[in-house]
Amino acid sequence: VLTNHVTELKRTAKDSLNRTRVSLSSLRALLKSMNPLLDKVFYDKDRVTQITSLVLQNIWPYVKGRLVLPGQIMTPLHKEISVKLIESWLTLPNSIKTWKKDVLDYFYALNIGAAEGSGASPSASAQQDFFACSVKTLHNWMPIVAHIMADKSTFADLLSK
């Protein structure tokens, strides 16, 4: 029974490793090729928005770094590449509206909102989520946040918060 259990654990571990490797390779492929393809193949900009929206929806768990269910795997690289992918969309002006709100909500709700100490604020562990990442990931966040804050009203909103 023990041997079977160990074999099963090994198989599960190997499967997890393979899935992690595949998912990282796929994310890298998207990071490398998606943006130039969206830029040069699609003249219908609504379609670009639709695709970026779909991608954002699916990589968002990586960006938030909150996979807590059994069997789920995430490495710091997942988050780093996902944020880098969003950063790459800065060159696609039409797509910005698809991710701006999500990023801003994530930035406000988990940090500044919590700092006010209101009853509706997220938990203490959630407060650190936005900055709980590698330095490289933070560097990837910088141009994204800077781009959002370039809008005067958004920056004024930030200051007021």
Positions in the binding site for other proteins (CB under 8 A): 8, 11-12, 15-16, 19-30, 32-34, 36-37, 40-44, 47, 51, 54-55, 57-59, 61-62, 67, 69-74, 78
- Comparing CB distances to other proteins, the nearer of 72 and 125 is 72
| Inter-residue contact 153 to 129 (CB < 8 Å) | no
- Comparing CB distances to other proteins, the nearer of 105 and 151 is 105
Is 52 buried (19+), middle (13-18) or exposed (0-12) by CB count in 10 A? buried
In the bound complex, what is the minimum distance in angstroms from residue 61's beta carbon to other proteins?
A: 5
In the bound complex, what is the minimum distance in angstroms from residue 107's beta carbon to other proteins?
A: 18
Reduce the DSSP state of residue 76 to 3 states and report it. helix
Q: What share of the chain is helix, strand, coil (3-state, %, to 5)?
A: 80, 0, 20
- Comparing CB distances to other proteins, the nearer of 36 and 155 is 36
In the bound complex, what is the minimum distance in angstroms from residue 33's beta carbon to other proteins?
A: 4
**Considering Cα of 45, then 25, then 19, then 89, what sign does the dihedral take?**
negative
In the bound complex, what is the minimum distance in angstroms from residue 78's beta carbon to other proteins?
A: 7
Cα–Cα distance between 25 and 60 in angstroms, integer? 17
- Comparing CB distances to other proteins, the nearer of 77 and 157 is 77
